A and B are shown apart, each in its own frame.
Chain A
Amino acid sequence: MRSVSDLVRSLRLWFSPGRVRDEGETPDYRFSLANERTFLAWIRTALALIGGGFAVDQFLPDLRWGVRAGLALALIGTGAVCAVRAVDHWVRCERAMRRGEDLPGSRFPALLAVMVAVVSVVMVVIVALGDA
């Protein structure tokens, strides 16, 4: 796990445009554009999850309120985490490129995959049983 001080440092970087540029050397602009596209791909993932929450709410009207809201909130919450993490990962990659370090590794994709798999299985079971 990353330490709290790491997290605070990242948070400070988010809100101070100059600080990222103060570190290291400017990488090839194409690397930064690739990082930007990765950021956007994560934002789209977040949007897809939020859209999934809306879809559960609107297209599974026969579910009990608690089940439907629970599934929708799980998807929307995961989407929100994805959006926050998109910025964090973008900042850390940008900083690593400027310093010439390795890009940060992350267990987030694996966690997200598990989360999506769990929600999918729950939904399959609920829809198959038909009367949750």
Chain B
Amino acid sequence: MTAPGDRDPGLQPERTRLAWRRTTLTWVVVAVLAVRGVLDAGRLGRPGALALGAGAVALIGFLAVAHRRIAAMSAPRPVVLTPAGAVAAAVCTLALAAFAVTVVT
């Protein structure tokens, strides 16, 4: 246990945890739009299903990174985000963009 005095009075870990939380929420909203895009135009053939699967993997990947960071934020002095974590988060977002390209064209 740590003394309450160890916590940053500016609540930086909490703010960072909430930043991850709202980013995952944004991700889910865009993912719902993506699913709607695939289903809407009746484009759910084999390519549509493959794209949906890839999108789901990207979402799960992002949620995994977010989950780790959110767990890290419970420490009074959280460890710093690693480049691997940042790259993983961005790569999942890029995968969503690639998925989006297949849906809108």
Q: Taking beta carbons and an 8 Å cutoff, which residues of A are in contact with B?
A: 13-17, 20, 26, 29-30, 32-37, 39-41, 43-44, 46-48, 50-51, 53-58, 68-69, 72-73, 76-77, 79-80, 83-84, 86-87, 90-91, 94
Interface positions, chain B 75-96, Cβ under 8 Å from A, are 77-78, 80-84, 86-87, 89-90, 93-94, 96
Decide: B97 and A40 in contact? CB cutoff 8 A.
no
CA separation between A15 and B82, bound complex, in Å? 10
In the complex, the answer to whether A69 meets B105 with C-beta atoms within 8 Å is yes
Q: Dominant SS at the B interface?
A: helix
- B22 CB within 8 Å of chain A: yes
In this assembly, does B71 line the interface, its C-beta being within 8 Å of a C-beta of chain A?
Answer: no
Chain B residues in the interface with A (C-beta under 8 A) = 8, 10, 12-13, 15-16, 19-20, 22-23, 26-27, 29-30, 33-34, 36-37, 40, 69, 77-78, 80-84, 86-87, 89-90, 93-94, 96-98, 100-101, 103-105
Q: How far is the CA of A39 from the CA of B87 in the complex (A)?
A: 11
CB distance from A27 to the nearest CB of B (A): 9
Q: Select from chain A the residue with minimum beta-carbon distance to B27.
A: A47
Least CB distance from B68 to A in Å reads 12
- Chain B residue nearest to A83 in the complex (CB): B93
Residue among B33, B36, B87, B100 with max Cβ neighbours from chain A (10 Å): B100
Question: Using a Cβ cutoff of 8 Å, how many contacts connect chains A and B?
Answer: 126
Q: Of A41, A43, A68, A69, which is within 8 A of B93 by CB?
A: A43
A interface, by DSSP: helix, strand, loop or mixed? helix
Give which listed residue, B19, B37, B90, contacts A87 with CB less than 8 A: B90
CA distance A51 to B35 in the complex (A): 12
A122 to chain B, nearest CB (A): 16
Question: Out of A17, A20, A32, A54, which one reaches B100, CB within 8 Å?
Answer: A54
Q: Specify which chain A residues have a CB less than 8 angstroms from the CB of B101 in the assembled complex.
A: 73, 76
